[in-house]
Amino acid sequence: MKIKFILNGKKTVVDVPGGMRLIDLLREKLNLTGTREGCGKGECGACTVLLDGKPVNSCLILAAQVDGRDILTIEGLQKGDSLDPVQRAYIDTAAVQCGFCTSGFILATKSLLNENPDPLDEEIKRGIAGNLCRCTGYAKIFDAVKTAAEYIKEEN
Amino acid sequence: MLSDSEVIVPKNIDEILEVISKKKAAVIAGGTDLLVRIKSGITPPPKVIVALDKISSLHKIAKKGNRVIIGASATYNEILHSELIRDNFPHLVGAAAEVGSPQIRSRGTIGGNIVNASPAGDSIPPLYTLGAELVLRCINGERRVRIDKFIKGPGKTVLRKNELLTAIEIEIPRGKPYYFFKRLGTRRALAVAKVSAAGYIGIDKGIVEKAKIALGAVGPTVVYSHSVEKILLGKKLCEGIISSSAEVSKADCNPIDDIRSEANYRREMVGVLVRRGLTKILEEIDG
Ligand SMILES: Cc1cc2nc3c(=O)[nH]c(=O)nc-3n(C[C@H](O)[C@H](O)[C@H](O)COP(=O)(O)OP(=O)(O)OC[C@H]3O[C@@H](n4cnc5c(N)ncnc54)[C@H](O)[C@@H]3O)c2cc1C
Ligand code: FES
Ligand code: FES
């Protein structure tokens, strides 16, 4: 079936087979491979994208379900040549090791800070609770979220 | 590709009812149960999948007279942000807040939780305490079934193939109600409940005149703890009554050993959760 949606700010029209998941549409049909598949079952968050601004697991949505909606993937986060403050924060705090989980964490962080620009430690934990990282031990990711909150404040 | 299912995304409810009356189709709301079951090979890929995504009326949470009506597609996030639910049924908000992760709370729906009928489904014990009524529609009309009559076993309900759950209706209790929801999981996020307990206590002139206690994940369905209800009714809530309630609640469940926990542990923890829940209510009454 044909679906129309906004992908990273651009109107997109594609033909999708019925049982195709959003993650397959992104990675295989549209070559947006920044979105990763870890578990395929909603447990790891590597496939996180923002649907109308809210974090969702793209492994648990059919492509047909996003018709008419707005999707933001990691590829759509930077503005022109400048990285998003959340992306800069992850780099500056060295919160990335193998990087497999990073796109998902960055998007979860983005939506957390959109809703709550000044999260308490407990709120940061809740905000990234749907994302797993096997490398960093989370301490640096925690720093990245706090740094991102600072960067966003400085920009405003 | 997950499957070669045909996927239909109708624009109104009638069209959905039409499709499910004619074809053997699986309804998909948030997909957080259905797609996991297909991916894991537990559910064979359906020939036809009908998505509720375009039916915005099913997301509505509204008050009508002394009832609150929750659309079946209301997500956990929508429940968490609804003032109506927060003001009237804080234990349902408490349960929604415990679900999965931000990602799951953005997509998972209360209707999906009910029809999935897991004994560990977090929205279900609070809905039992409220005697929630489910509105089931088909092309020929609608019927209403109370939640405890709707769920028959793990994954089993009285929903017919041609029926859609459209709404959950809850009567707002009169007087000053008190509520609790308590749950234990292996960790705080992304862990299905090992044991949960929800309670609604109505108090009139210091005396318990209504009591509903529901226990989750300790039997094939959520169950009422009738023994606790019996102890509480007609009494003034106090530490002694709470201790006896915690003790008798353990006999009201029929837990199993599984990968998440053991039966004995679950039975003990039912007592602990009932004690914690009632203690919280006592503090609110005294506070
Ligand atoms: C990682 C992860 C963590 C989770 N954590 C929790 C948790 O902590 N607590 C918890 O309770 N659950 C949890 N779940 C399970 C799930 O998210 C919930 O049960 C959720 O409420 C299901 O809603 P859904 O809309 O996604 O259901 P779907 O998958 O869309 O549907 C589930 C079932 O209900 C049927 N259905 C849905 N809507 C209707 C309707 N309106 N009429 C008729 N039939 C309908 C579908 O056909 C399907 O059989 C978790 C799931 C995942 C993947
Ligand atoms: S790949 Fe989607 S949550 Fe793991
Ligand atoms: S950096 Fe390797 S999984 Fe997170």
Span B66-119, pLDDT tens digits: 999 999 999 999 999 999 999 999 999 999 999 999 999 999 999 999 999 999
**By the 8 A CB rule, do B167 and B82 touch?**
no
CB contact under 8 A, A45 and B77: no
B180 CB neighbour count, 10 Å cutoff: 24
Ligand 3 centre to CA of A139 (Å) is 12
Q: Which of B247-276 are b and which e, b meaning 16 or more Cβ less than 10 Å from the residue's Cβ?
A: ebbbebbebeeeebbeeeebbebbbbbbbe
Torsion from C-alpha of A121, A122, A126, A129, nearest 10 degrees: 70
What is residue A146's predicted lDDT score, i.e. its pLDDT?
98
pLDDT tens figures, B210-226:
999 999 999 999 999 99
pLDDT of residue B166: 98
Q: Which of residues 52-81 of A touch B (CB under 8 A)?
A: 54-57, 59-62, 64-65, 67-68
- Given 3.40.190.290, 3.30.300.90, 3.40.50.1860, 1.10.150.120, which CATH number is that of A85-155? 1.10.150.120
Looking at domain A2-76, which CATH architecture does it have? Roll (3.10)
Q: Are the C-beta atoms of B204 and B175 separated by less than 8 Å?
A: yes
Nearest to B16 by CA among B41, B42, B53, B47: B53
Average pLDDT estimate for A1-21? 96
The residue-averaged pLDDT of B174-178 equals 90
* Statement: residue B266 has pLDDT above 80: yes
- CB of A36 within 8 Å of a chain B CB? The answer is no
Summarised one tens digit per residue, pLDDT across range A60-119 is 999 999 999 999 999 999 999 999 999 999 999 999 999 999 999 999 999 999 999 999
In this prediction, residue B192 has a pLDDT band, given cuts at 50, 70 and 90, of confident
Contact predicate B193/B175, CB 8 Å: no
Q: Which of B170, B179, B86 is nearest to B131 (CA)?
A: B170
Residues of chain A neighbouring B102 (CB-CB closer than 8 A):
54-55, 108, 111-112, 126-127, 129-130
Question: Could B102 and A129 be called an inter-chain contact, meaning their C-beta atoms sit closer than 8 Å?
Answer: yes
Beta-bridge mates of residue B143: B136
For chain A, what is the largest distance between any 2 Cα atoms, rounded to a whole number of angstroms? 45
pLDDT, tens digit (0-9, with 9 covering 90-100), for A53-73: 999 999 999 999 999 999 999
Cβ A76 under 6 angstroms from ligand 2: no
**Dist. CA A73–CA A34, nearest whole Å:** 8
Distance in Å, alpha carbon of A93 to nearest chain B alpha carbon = 24
Per-residue confidence at B287, pLDDT binned at 50, 70, 90? confident
Could you count the other beta carbons within 10 Å of the beta carbon of residue B207?
13
As a dihedral over the C-alpha atoms of residue B227, residue B233, residue B238, residue B243, rounded to 10 degrees, the angle is 0
